[in-house]
């Protein structure tokens, strides 16, 4: 990482370079080079930051970010427009303790391969066809059936549309790959049912399994494959609405511009809740401000305080936001524990394990842009597609032809260069003033 960033800096004239971090903010080159562990989840974190901004632009403070790409799906809970940050995350089963947005990932993407296990059951993923040779419908030698092949066989993807690099989808190759599965697997519909079950479990992990009511959440769908599955998953979970941003395939890139410069200074104190910690708080505040200043951040800096606290004898802590006044940390822990687990233990001693001060500054963009450059709109048409085990005649609408206030009623496909949004019968998408597609679910 140090060599890469040094080479990048040398090759650019007078650069101001910032690097996305796992905690949902940006850091200077020197900090990222010295501690690259802070970039482990930086790509998905950028997407979640942008998803929070998109949700707010559509009028939703609380949401679930749903990012489905070629190899995996990432989901994250957003509260008050801000993704949750954790200091206890895992990658490939290995723990790391640096600040990171609370992303839960599963091996379910467009390239995920469908296969039959030893018991004869259909599975999808985590093995992926990758980009080379890719799904069978790419026509590059892939023979394994994938999620993208299922969409292609069901008519969700336009075989006549030229994709990147002059690629056109080979529907016959997709169907041949799916035909290698036994009839009991259910073909393309069966593949989509199984992969959606995998993604639904991930969505429940960050919502219902934590006591969060999905009916209060919107789902922000992005990534190249996210909008194809979003309304089906949101309906199953019980979400309020689905929001598809103007450019879902590059939302993580937008997140890099929306992310604030951020530094988190921390100190382990292992103190009783009654201990005077004011001196430690002040020292951490000075350190956080100094770090942002050393990274060239100018302008106003916002400071927030966070304490990792637990009941005596517990092996895990809860991350608690502390206001600037003389907050009662014990009472804050009781409330946080009750929200997280349904009960509080008010007679138990409260220990403060770690103090954290988070310094942030203004991002490059304060909100998502409203003037996205669109491709030339295609003429509206229709074609037969498979939805929920049935074949229906669906409208095929160009996203570039839609304007604020326009409505699209399902069954329909809304196509654009980086994704396709699938609307089932009885679903209705409305274009809002921020050019988001918003599907309200009953």
Beta strands in 56-208 (DSSP E): 63-68, 73-79, 82-83, 85-86, 89-91, 94-96, 100-101, 103-106, 112-116, 122-128
The b-or-e profile of 123-149 (16+ CB within 10 A means b, else e) is bbbebbbeeeebbbbbbeebebbbbbb
Over residues 395-404, mean pLDDT: 95
Over residues 131-152, mean pLDDT: 93
pLDDT mean across residues, the chain: 91
Q: For residue 138, is it within any domain?
A: yes
Q: For residue 441, is it within any domain?
A: no
Task: Indicate whether 323 and 354 sit together in one domain.
Answer: yes
Task: Indicate whether 8 and 103 sit together in one domain.
Answer: yes
Task: Indicate whether 207 and 297 sit together in one domain.
Answer: no
Q: How far apart are CA 76 and CA 418, in angstroms?
A: 22
Task: Indicate whether 142 and 221 sit together in one domain.
Answer: no
pLDDT at 26: 93
Query: pLDDT digits over 46-85, tens only?
Result: 999 999 999 999 999 999 999 999 989 999 999 988 898 8
pLDDT band at 198 (very low <50, low <70, confident <90, very high): very high
Task: Indicate whether 103 and 243 sit together in one domain.
Answer: yes
* 190: pLDDT strictly greater than 80: yes
Q: For residue 284, is it within any domain?
A: yes
Helices (H), 206-263: 226-237, 251-258
Residue predicted with more confidence, 357 or 342: 357
Query: pLDDT digits over 283-330, tens only?
Result: 999 999 998 998 888 889 999 999 999 999 888 889 898 876 556 889
Question: Taking a C-beta distance cutoff of 8 angstroms, is the pair 194, 122 a contact?
Answer: yes
Question: Taking a C-beta distance cutoff of 8 angstroms, is the pair 221, 244 a contact?
Answer: yes
Task: Indicate whether 217 and 230 sit together in one domain.
Answer: yes
What are the φ/ψ torsions at residue 377 (nearest 5 degrees)? -65, 140
Number of independent structural domains in the chain: 4
Cα-based torsion angle of the residue sequence 355, 361, 364, 367 in order, rounded to the nearest 10 degrees: 80
Q: For residue 373, is it within any domain?
A: no
Task: Indicate whether 75 and 102 sit together in one domain.
Answer: yes
End position of a domain, from candidates 191, 221, 242: 191
Q: For residue 73, is it within any domain?
A: yes
pLDDT at 161: 82
pLDDT at 200: 95
The overall pTM is greater than 0.85: yes
pLDDT at 86: 80
pLDDT at 182: 96
What's the CATH code of the domain at 26? 3.30.420.40
Question: Taking a C-beta distance cutoff of 8 angstroms, is the pair 234, 441 a contact?
Answer: yes
Task: Indicate whether 149 and 54 sit together in one domain.
Answer: no
Task: Indicate whether 47 and 75 sit together in one domain.
Answer: yes
* Coil vs helix vs strand at 383: strand
Residue predicted with more confidence, 396 or 297: 396
Q: For residue 77, is it within any domain?
A: yes
Question: Taking a C-beta distance cutoff of 8 angstroms, is the pair 248, 40 a contact?
Answer: no
Task: Indicate whether 208 and 102 sit together in one domain.
Answer: yes
pLDDT at 160: 86
Task: Indicate whether 103 and 201 sit together in one domain.
Answer: yes
End position of a domain, from candidates 167, 191, 215: 191
* 235: pLDDT strictly greater than 90: yes
Task: Indicate whether 204 and 71 sit together in one domain.
Answer: yes
Cα angle value 175/176/177 (rounded, 5°): 90
Q: For residue 367, is it within any domain?
A: no
* 183: pLDDT strictly greater than 60: yes
pLDDT at 82: 87
Cα angle value 70/72/75 (rounded, 5°): 125
End position of a domain, from candidates 160, 191, 222: 191
Q: For residue 225, is it within any domain?
A: yes
pLDDT at 19: 93
Residue 185 domain boundaries: 112-191
Helix (H) or strand (E) holding 300, with range, is none
**Cβ neighbours of residue 186 closer than 8 Å, sequence gap 6 or more:** 122, 193
């Amino acid at each position: 990482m140090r060599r890469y960033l040094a080479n990048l800096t040398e090759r650019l004239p007078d650069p101001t370079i910032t690097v996305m971090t796992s905690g949902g903010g940006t850091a200077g080159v020197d900090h990222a080079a010295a501690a690259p562990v802070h970039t482990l989840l930086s790509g998905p974190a950028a997407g979640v930051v942008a998803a929070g901004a998109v949700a707010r632009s559509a009028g939703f403070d609380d949401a679930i970010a749903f990012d489905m790409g070629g190899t995996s799906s990432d989901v994250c809970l957003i509260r008050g427009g801000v993704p949750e940050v954790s200091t206890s995350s895992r990658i490939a089963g290995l723990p790391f303790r640096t600040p990171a947005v609370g992303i839960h990932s599963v091996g379910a993407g467009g390239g995920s391969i469908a296969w039959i296990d030893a018991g004869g059951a259909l599975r999808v993923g985590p093995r992926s066809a990758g980009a080379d040779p890719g799904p069978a419908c790419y026509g590059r030698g892939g023979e394994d059936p994938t999620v993208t092949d299922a969409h292609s066989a069901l008519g969700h993807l336009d075989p006549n549309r030229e994709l990147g690099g002059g690629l056109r989808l080979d529907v016959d190759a997709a169907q041949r790959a799916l035909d290698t599965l036994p009839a009991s697997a259910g073909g393309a519909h069966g593949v989509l049912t199984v992969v959606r079950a995998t993604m639904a479990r991930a969505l429940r992990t960050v919502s219902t399994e934590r006591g969060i009511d999905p009916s209060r959440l919107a789902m922000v769908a992005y990534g190249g494959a996210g909008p194809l599955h979003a309304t089906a998953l949101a309906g199953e979970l019980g979400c309020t609405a689905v929001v598809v941003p103007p450019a879902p395939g590059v939302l993580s890139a937008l997140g890099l511009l929306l992310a604030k410069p951020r530094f988190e200074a921390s100190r382990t104190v292992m103190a009783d809740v009654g201990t005077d910690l004011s001196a430690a708080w002040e020292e951490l505040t000075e350190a956080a401000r100094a770090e942002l200043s050393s990274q060239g951040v100018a302008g106003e800096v916002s400071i927030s305080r966070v304490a990792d606290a637990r009941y005596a004898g517990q092996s895990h802590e809860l991350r608690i936001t502390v206001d600037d006044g003389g907050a009662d940390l014990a009472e804050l822990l009781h409330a946080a524990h009750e929200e997280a687990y349904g009960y509080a233990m008010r007679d138990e001693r409260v220990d403060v394990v770690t103090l954290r001060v988070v310094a942030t500054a203004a991002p490059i963009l304060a909100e998502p842009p409203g003037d996205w450059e669109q491709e030339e709109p295609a003429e509206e048409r229709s074609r037969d597609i498979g939805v929920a085990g049935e074949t229906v005649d669906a409208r095929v609408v160009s996203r570039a032809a839609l304007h604020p206030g326009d409505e699209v009623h399902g069954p329909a496909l809304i196509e654009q260069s980086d994704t396709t949004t699938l609307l089932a019968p009885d679903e209705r998408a409305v274009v809002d003033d921020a050019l988001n597609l918003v599907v309200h679910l009953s």
